[in-house]
Amino acid sequence: MDAQNAVAEKAESDVDLPRALVKRIVKAKLAALSGDESKEFGISKDALTALSESTKVFISLIASTANDICQEKRRSTVNADDVFNALQDLDFQELVAPLREQLEVFKEAVKERNKNRPSKKRKGAAEPPRSAAKQTAAAAA
Give the DSSP letter string of 54-112.
HHHHHHHHHHHHHHHHHHHTT-SS--HHHHHHHHHHTT-HHHHHHHHHHHHHHHHHHHH
Residue 139 within any structural domain of the chain? no
Name the residue range of residue 74's domain.
10-117
123 is a domain residue: no
Residue 140 is assigned to a structural domain of this protein: no
Residue 2 resides in a domain: no
Q: Is the pTM of this model over 0.75?
A: no
Does 137 map to a domain? no
The answer to the question of residue 122 being in a domain is no
Is 108 contained in some domain?
Answer: yes
pLDDT given at position 141: 43
pLDDT value for 35: 85
Per-residue pLDDT tens digits for 43-94: 999 999 999 999 999 999 999 999 999 999 999 999 999 999 999 999 999 9
The answer to whether 93 touches 114, Cβ cutoff 8 Å, is no
Number of domains in the chain: 1
pLDDT tens track for 5-50: 555 555 555 678 899 999 999 999 998 898 877 778 889 999 999 9
What is the model's pLDDT at position 135?
Answer: 55
Answer whether 18's CB lies under 8 Å from 55's CB.
no
